[in-house]
Amino acid sequence: MAKRKTTPQRLPDAVRDAVERTVQATVGGAQQTRGRAQGALDDVVSGAEAGVETVRARVRKTVDATRPATSDDIRALRDELRALARRIDALEGKDKPAAKPRSSARSKASTTKRGTAAKGSAAARKRPKS
């Protein structure tokens, strides 16, 4: 086998300076590239965040529009209807608002089974207290 030449322990100064200049130039270019890449990435991230907020707002709007009414919503609507009925009655000159009709099948069936006496007592129970 052929023997390899051993490398000298000390490189000449000119070669060492050339390597250092090359490394410094590469590091400077890499830092510039890194800065540009970071700026581009920041732009992409901020655009994505803005897109997420837009999507989030659209989803909230859609969910709010399609969600079923809560019991509080229904209660508020009933209160508003009652207030409107009172205003209409006042405009029409009615003193008392009309009584709420009960039209369940159960109450009709039980009234017909009990007869006339039951009707009188049912009417007495429905009378508003003075």
Instruction: Show the domain range for 41.
Output: 16-92
Question: pLDDT tens across 68-109, in order?
Answer: 888 999 999 999 999 999 999 999 987 665 556 555 555 554
Q: Does residue 108 form part of some domain? A: no
Q: Into how many domains does the chain fold?
A: 1
The answer to the question of residue 128 being in a domain is no
Give the pLDDT confidence score for residue 31 in this predicted structure. 80
Question: Which two tokens mark 107?
Answer: 């109450």
pLDDT at residue 63 greater than cutoff 90: no
Q: Residue 109 falls within a domain, yes or no?
A: no
62: closest CA among 71, 54, 50, 74?
54
Give Dmax over CA atoms of the chain in angstroms.
Answer: 130
pTM of the model: 0.32
pLDDT at 33: 84
